[in-house]
Amino acid sequence: EKRAAAPCPPAHADHPQVQVAAELADGLCAHQAGISPKFLYDSLGSTLFEAICALPEYYPTRTEAGLFERFGKEIARACGVGTTLIDLGAGNCAKAASLFPRLCPARYVAVDISADFVTDALARLRARFPHIAMEALGLDFSNSLALPDSIPLERRLFFYPGSSLGNFTPPEARAFLRRLRKACGPDGALLIGMDLVKDKAVIDAAYDDALGVTAAFNLNILRHVNRLLGADFDVRGWRHVAFYNEALGRVEMHLEARSAQRVRWPGGGRDFAEGERIQTENSYKYRQADAIALLEQSGFEATRVWLDARCPFAVIHAQA
Ligand code: AVI
Protein backbone atom coordinates (compact mmCIF):
# COMPACT_ATOMS: atom_id res chain seq x y z
CA GLU A 1 0.00 0.00 0.00
CA LYS A 2 1.44 3.37 -1.02
CA ARG A 3 0.35 6.58 0.61
CA ALA A 4 1.76 9.11 -1.82
CA ALA A 5 -0.46 12.11 -2.39
CA ALA A 6 0.80 12.25 -5.98
CA PRO A 7 2.63 9.60 -8.03
CA CYS A 8 6.34 9.20 -7.39
CA PRO A 9 8.59 10.42 -10.22
CA PRO A 10 9.83 7.55 -12.39
CA ALA A 11 13.60 6.85 -12.36
CA HIS A 12 13.93 7.70 -16.05
CA ALA A 13 17.27 9.45 -16.35
CA ASP A 14 20.76 8.20 -15.59
CA HIS A 15 22.05 11.52 -14.25
CA PRO A 16 23.43 10.92 -10.71
CA GLN A 17 21.27 13.68 -9.16
CA VAL A 18 18.15 12.25 -10.78
CA GLN A 19 19.09 8.78 -9.55
CA VAL A 20 19.55 10.08 -5.99
CA ALA A 21 16.19 11.87 -6.15
CA ALA A 22 14.49 8.71 -7.49
CA GLU A 23 16.11 6.56 -4.77
CA LEU A 24 14.91 8.98 -2.08
CA ALA A 25 11.38 9.27 -3.51
CA ASP A 26 11.07 5.47 -3.79
CA GLY A 27 12.13 5.05 -0.16
CA LEU A 28 9.73 7.72 1.08
CA CYS A 29 6.81 6.25 -0.87
CA ALA A 30 7.40 2.64 0.27
CA HIS A 31 4.84 1.08 2.61
CA GLN A 32 7.43 1.23 5.42
CA ALA A 33 9.04 4.56 4.55
CA GLY A 34 12.83 4.62 4.68
CA ILE A 35 15.81 6.82 3.89
CA SER A 36 19.20 5.14 3.34
CA PRO A 37 21.65 5.87 6.20
CA LYS A 38 24.21 7.11 3.68
CA PHE A 39 22.16 10.34 3.51
CA LEU A 40 22.98 11.01 7.18
CA TYR A 41 26.40 12.22 6.01
CA ASP A 42 26.30 15.70 4.56
CA SER A 43 28.94 18.04 6.04
CA LEU A 44 26.85 18.82 9.14
CA GLY A 45 25.93 15.13 9.54
CA SER A 46 29.61 14.16 9.46
CA THR A 47 30.34 16.82 12.09
CA LEU A 48 27.50 15.52 14.27
CA PHE A 49 28.79 11.96 13.88
CA GLU A 50 32.21 13.21 15.03
CA ALA A 51 30.46 14.60 18.13
CA ILE A 52 28.64 11.27 18.68
CA CYS A 53 32.03 9.52 18.74
CA ALA A 54 33.04 11.76 21.66
CA LEU A 55 29.90 11.00 23.73
CA PRO A 56 30.29 8.95 26.91
CA GLU A 57 27.36 6.73 25.88
CA TYR A 58 28.72 5.93 22.38
CA TYR A 59 31.09 3.08 23.29
CA PRO A 60 32.12 1.75 19.79
CA THR A 61 34.69 4.45 18.91
CA ARG A 62 36.30 4.41 22.36
CA THR A 63 36.38 0.62 22.55
CA GLU A 64 37.85 0.21 19.07
CA ALA A 65 40.44 2.93 19.75
CA GLY A 66 41.40 1.01 22.91
CA LEU A 67 41.98 -2.13 20.83
CA PHE A 68 44.10 -0.20 18.28
CA GLU A 69 46.14 1.20 21.17
CA ARG A 70 46.53 -2.09 23.05
CA PHE A 71 47.21 -4.32 20.04
CA GLY A 72 48.72 -1.79 17.62
CA LYS A 73 51.98 -3.73 17.34
CA GLU A 74 50.25 -7.05 16.58
CA ILE A 75 47.85 -5.35 14.15
CA ALA A 76 50.80 -3.84 12.27
CA ARG A 77 52.51 -7.24 12.19
CA ALA A 78 49.39 -8.89 10.73
CA CYS A 79 48.81 -6.12 8.16
CA GLY A 80 52.44 -5.43 7.26
CA VAL A 81 53.97 -1.99 6.75
CA GLY A 82 54.12 -0.10 3.43
CA THR A 83 50.58 -0.96 2.29
CA THR A 84 48.13 1.21 0.38
CA LEU A 85 45.63 1.90 3.17
CA ILE A 86 42.14 2.50 1.76
CA ASP A 87 39.85 3.93 4.43
CA LEU A 88 36.15 3.39 3.69
CA GLY A 89 33.97 6.08 5.29
CA ALA A 90 37.06 7.92 6.50
CA GLY A 91 35.18 10.94 7.92
CA ASN A 92 37.68 12.93 9.99
CA CYS A 93 40.38 10.25 9.29
CA ALA A 94 41.13 10.00 13.03
CA LYS A 95 40.86 6.20 13.25
CA ALA A 96 43.35 5.57 10.44
CA ALA A 97 45.66 8.32 11.68
CA SER A 98 45.87 6.62 15.08
CA LEU A 99 47.39 3.59 13.30
CA PHE A 100 49.84 5.50 11.07
CA PRO A 101 52.79 5.46 13.53
CA ARG A 102 52.73 1.64 13.72
CA LEU A 103 51.27 0.74 10.32
CA CYS A 104 53.47 3.15 8.31
CA PRO A 105 51.38 2.92 5.11
CA ALA A 106 53.10 3.93 1.87
CA ARG A 107 49.91 5.55 0.72
CA TYR A 108 46.60 6.57 2.30
CA VAL A 109 43.32 6.86 0.36
CA ALA A 110 40.47 8.41 2.35
CA VAL A 111 37.10 7.51 0.80
CA ASP A 112 33.88 9.17 1.97
CA ILE A 113 30.48 10.07 0.55
CA SER A 114 30.91 13.51 2.16
CA ALA A 115 33.62 14.76 -0.23
CA ASP A 116 34.13 18.25 1.28
CA PHE A 117 34.38 16.94 4.83
CA VAL A 118 36.99 14.29 4.01
CA THR A 119 39.01 16.69 1.79
CA ASP A 120 39.29 19.17 4.69
CA ALA A 121 40.24 16.39 7.12
CA LEU A 122 42.96 15.14 4.78
CA ALA A 123 44.43 18.61 4.33
CA ARG A 124 44.98 18.75 8.11
CA LEU A 125 46.44 15.22 8.18
CA ARG A 126 48.98 15.93 5.41
CA ALA A 127 50.68 18.47 7.62
CA ARG A 128 51.09 15.86 10.41
CA PHE A 129 52.33 13.02 8.17
CA PRO A 130 54.11 14.67 5.22
CA HIS A 131 55.95 11.43 4.27
CA ILE A 132 52.70 9.52 3.48
CA ALA A 133 51.19 10.02 0.01
CA MET A 134 47.51 10.86 0.56
CA GLU A 135 44.42 11.37 -1.51
CA ALA A 136 40.74 12.03 -0.75
CA LEU A 137 38.03 10.37 -2.79
CA GLY A 138 34.37 11.51 -2.64
CA LEU A 139 32.58 8.26 -3.45
CA ASP A 140 29.39 6.43 -2.48
CA PHE A 141 31.25 3.13 -2.01
CA SER A 142 28.01 1.33 -1.05
CA ASN A 143 27.14 1.62 -4.78
CA SER A 144 30.52 1.18 -6.41
CA LEU A 145 34.05 0.31 -5.36
CA ALA A 146 35.51 1.43 -8.69
CA LEU A 147 38.72 3.09 -7.55
CA PRO A 148 40.80 5.25 -9.91
CA ASP A 149 43.57 3.44 -11.84
CA SER A 150 46.11 5.63 -10.03
CA ILE A 151 45.65 3.49 -6.90
CA PRO A 152 48.00 0.49 -7.12
CA LEU A 153 46.37 -2.94 -7.08
CA GLU A 154 49.20 -4.46 -5.06
CA ARG A 155 49.31 -4.52 -1.27
CA ARG A 156 45.91 -2.98 -0.72
CA LEU A 157 44.72 -2.88 2.87
CA PHE A 158 41.06 -1.91 3.12
CA PHE A 159 40.18 -0.33 6.45
CA TYR A 160 36.53 -0.48 7.52
CA PRO A 161 36.38 0.45 11.19
CA GLY A 162 33.62 1.57 13.55
CA SER A 163 31.27 -1.33 12.78
CA SER A 164 30.03 0.50 9.71
CA LEU A 165 29.38 -2.89 8.10
CA GLY A 166 26.50 -3.16 10.60
CA ASN A 167 24.67 -0.42 8.70
CA PHE A 168 24.05 -2.99 5.93
CA THR A 169 21.56 -5.83 6.32
CA PRO A 170 23.36 -9.23 6.38
CA PRO A 171 22.63 -9.98 2.66
CA GLU A 172 23.78 -6.45 1.71
CA ALA A 173 26.86 -6.91 3.91
CA ARG A 174 27.75 -10.17 2.16
CA ALA A 175 27.31 -8.58 -1.29
CA PHE A 176 29.42 -5.59 -0.23
CA LEU A 177 32.17 -7.80 1.23
CA ARG A 178 32.29 -9.88 -1.96
CA ARG A 179 32.82 -6.71 -4.01
CA LEU A 180 35.42 -5.59 -1.50
CA ARG A 181 37.28 -8.89 -1.80
CA LYS A 182 37.47 -8.46 -5.57
CA ALA A 183 38.76 -4.90 -5.10
CA CYS A 184 41.51 -6.25 -2.80
CA GLY A 185 43.56 -7.42 -5.78
CA PRO A 186 46.02 -10.34 -5.67
CA ASP A 187 47.44 -9.86 -2.15
CA GLY A 188 45.01 -7.53 -0.41
CA ALA A 189 43.45 -7.71 3.03
CA LEU A 190 40.81 -6.10 5.21
CA LEU A 191 41.08 -4.63 8.70
CA ILE A 192 37.55 -4.31 10.05
CA GLY A 193 35.90 -3.31 13.34
CA MET A 194 32.66 -5.08 14.25
CA ASP A 195 30.44 -4.35 17.23
CA LEU A 196 29.31 -7.41 19.19
CA VAL A 197 26.08 -8.20 21.04
CA LYS A 198 25.95 -6.76 24.54
CA ASP A 199 23.52 -5.55 27.20
CA LYS A 200 20.46 -3.86 25.68
CA ALA A 201 20.60 -0.90 28.09
CA VAL A 202 24.19 -0.11 27.01
CA ILE A 203 23.23 -0.22 23.32
CA ASP A 204 20.02 1.78 23.79
CA ALA A 205 21.90 4.59 25.57
CA ALA A 206 24.56 4.69 22.82
CA TYR A 207 21.91 5.45 20.20
CA ASP A 208 19.74 7.78 22.32
CA ASP A 209 22.20 9.91 24.27
CA ALA A 210 21.29 12.36 27.01
CA LEU A 211 22.50 15.45 25.12
CA GLY A 212 20.41 14.65 22.07
CA VAL A 213 23.37 14.65 19.66
CA THR A 214 22.19 11.42 18.01
CA ALA A 215 18.70 12.93 17.73
CA ALA A 216 20.17 15.94 15.89
CA PHE A 217 22.24 13.61 13.67
CA ASN A 218 19.10 11.65 12.78
CA LEU A 219 16.88 14.72 12.22
CA ASN A 220 19.55 16.38 10.06
CA ILE A 221 18.85 13.72 7.40
CA LEU A 222 15.57 15.56 6.68
CA ARG A 223 17.43 18.80 5.91
CA HIS A 224 19.75 16.87 3.62
CA VAL A 225 16.76 15.24 1.88
CA ASN A 226 15.11 18.67 1.50
CA ARG A 227 18.20 19.83 -0.40
CA LEU A 228 18.70 16.68 -2.49
CA LEU A 229 15.06 16.09 -3.40
CA GLY A 230 13.66 19.62 -3.15
CA ALA A 231 11.34 18.34 -0.40
CA ASP A 232 9.74 20.45 2.35
CA PHE A 233 10.12 18.33 5.51
CA ASP A 234 9.47 20.38 8.65
CA VAL A 235 12.23 19.08 10.95
CA ARG A 236 10.31 20.21 14.05
CA GLY A 237 7.46 17.88 13.12
CA TRP A 238 9.58 14.76 13.73
CA ARG A 239 11.16 13.01 16.73
CA HIS A 240 14.19 10.70 17.02
CA VAL A 241 13.42 7.09 17.98
CA ALA A 242 16.20 4.50 18.43
CA PHE A 243 16.20 1.14 20.18
CA TYR A 244 17.99 -2.21 20.13
CA ASN A 245 15.71 -4.82 18.57
CA GLU A 246 17.05 -7.93 20.30
CA ALA A 247 15.04 -10.36 18.15
CA LEU A 248 16.59 -8.96 14.96
CA GLY A 249 20.00 -8.26 16.50
CA ARG A 250 20.08 -4.65 15.38
CA VAL A 251 19.60 -1.08 16.50
CA GLU A 252 16.82 0.59 14.54
CA MET A 253 16.80 4.32 14.10
CA HIS A 254 13.59 6.00 12.98
CA LEU A 255 12.03 9.44 12.67
CA GLU A 256 8.49 9.52 14.04
CA ALA A 257 5.89 12.12 13.02
CA ARG A 258 4.93 14.23 16.09
CA SER A 259 1.65 15.10 14.36
CA ALA A 260 0.22 14.56 10.85
CA GLN A 261 2.82 15.68 8.30
CA ARG A 262 2.34 16.55 4.64
CA VAL A 263 5.57 16.41 2.65
CA ARG A 264 5.92 17.52 -0.96
CA TRP A 265 8.73 17.37 -3.53
CA PRO A 266 8.83 18.05 -7.28
CA GLY A 267 6.67 15.37 -8.89
CA GLY A 268 5.52 13.69 -5.68
CA GLY A 269 4.80 13.72 -2.00
CA ARG A 270 3.34 11.79 0.90
CA ASP A 271 1.10 12.37 3.88
CA PHE A 272 2.30 10.84 7.16
CA ALA A 273 -0.09 10.15 10.04
CA GLU A 274 0.84 11.10 13.62
CA GLY A 275 3.16 8.38 14.97
CA GLU A 276 4.11 7.09 11.51
CA ARG A 277 7.83 6.38 11.15
CA ILE A 278 10.57 6.69 8.56
CA GLN A 279 13.41 4.23 9.16
CA THR A 280 16.80 5.88 8.72
CA GLU A 281 19.30 3.25 9.90
CA ASN A 282 19.93 -0.30 11.06
CA SER A 283 23.05 -1.02 13.08
CA TYR A 284 23.60 -4.76 13.42
CA LYS A 285 25.39 -6.16 16.47
CA TYR A 286 27.09 -9.51 15.86
CA ARG A 287 27.90 -12.64 17.79
CA GLN A 288 31.63 -13.25 17.31
CA ALA A 289 31.09 -16.48 15.36
CA ASP A 290 28.53 -14.77 13.09
CA ALA A 291 30.94 -11.89 12.38
CA ILE A 292 33.61 -14.34 11.25
CA ALA A 293 31.08 -16.42 9.27
CA LEU A 294 29.93 -13.27 7.43
CA LEU A 295 33.52 -12.59 6.35
CA GLU A 296 34.18 -16.19 5.36
CA GLN A 297 30.90 -16.54 3.42
CA SER A 298 32.15 -13.56 1.41
CA GLY A 299 35.45 -15.24 0.53
CA PHE A 300 37.70 -13.66 3.20
CA GLU A 301 39.82 -15.70 5.58
CA ALA A 302 39.79 -14.24 9.10
CA THR A 303 43.40 -14.57 10.22
CA ARG A 304 43.43 -12.60 13.50
CA VAL A 305 40.77 -11.37 15.94
CA TRP A 306 41.43 -8.83 18.69
CA LEU A 307 38.65 -8.63 21.27
CA ASP A 308 37.47 -6.34 24.01
CA ALA A 309 35.75 -8.75 26.37
CA ARG A 310 34.40 -6.14 28.82
CA CYS A 311 32.63 -4.09 26.16
CA PRO A 312 32.34 -6.73 23.44
CA PHE A 313 33.85 -5.43 20.17
CA ALA A 314 36.10 -7.16 17.62
CA VAL A 315 38.83 -5.91 15.31
CA ILE A 316 39.49 -8.53 12.64
CA HIS A 317 42.23 -8.94 10.06
CA ALA A 318 40.99 -10.90 7.05
CA GLN A 319 42.95 -12.03 4.03
CA ALA A 320 41.29 -11.75 0.61
C1 AVI B 1 28.64 4.80 11.23
N2 AVI B 1 27.90 3.82 11.99
C3 AVI B 1 28.72 2.64 12.26
C4 AVI B 1 27.26 4.34 13.21
C5 AVI B 1 26.56 3.20 13.99
O6 AVI B 1 26.84 3.07 15.17
O7 AVI B 1 25.79 2.46 13.39
C8 AVI B 1 26.26 5.44 12.89
C9 AVI B 1 25.48 5.91 14.08
N10 AVI B 1 24.18 5.98 14.15
C11 AVI B 1 23.81 6.44 15.31
N12 AVI B 1 24.88 6.67 16.03
C13 AVI B 1 25.95 6.37 15.27
138-159, pLDDT tens digit by residue?
999 988 898 999 999 999 999 9
| One-letter amino acid for residue 278 of the chain | I
Residue 10, pLDDT above cutoff 80:
no
Q: How many whole angstroms from 165 Cα to the centroid of ligand 1?
A: 10
Residue 262, pLDDT above cutoff 90:
yes
State yes or no: ipTM above 0.95. Answer: yes
Residue 10 is classified by DSSP as P
188 lines ligand 1 (CB under 6 A): no
- pLDDT value for 149: 92
**Sheet strands side by side (includes 84-88):** 133-138, 107-112, 84-88, 156-160, 189-195, 313-319, 301-308
* Rounded Cα gap, residues 252 and 218, in angstroms: 11
Residue nearest to atom 6 of ligand 1 (CA): 283
Residue 78, pLDDT above cutoff 50:
yes
Residue nearest to atom 5 of ligand 1 (CA): 283
Kindly give, in sequence order, each residue whose CB lies less than 8 Å from that of residue 61, ignoring residues fewer than 6 positions away: 53, 54, 95, 162
Q: Percent of the chain beyond pLDDT 90?
A: 92
* Rounded Cα gap, residues 31 and 21, in angstroms: 18
Residue 200: alpha-carbon gap to chain centroid: 21
Residue 187, pLDDT above cutoff 60:
yes
Residue nearest to atom 1 of ligand 1 (CA): 164
- pLDDT value for 7: 45
25-40, pLDDT tens digit by residue?
999 999 999 999 999 9
- pLDDT value for 3: 47
> How many beta carbons lie within 10 A of that of residue 230, not counting itself?
12
Cα separation values, 202 from 101, 138, 167, 309, 312, Å:
32, 33, 18, 14, 11
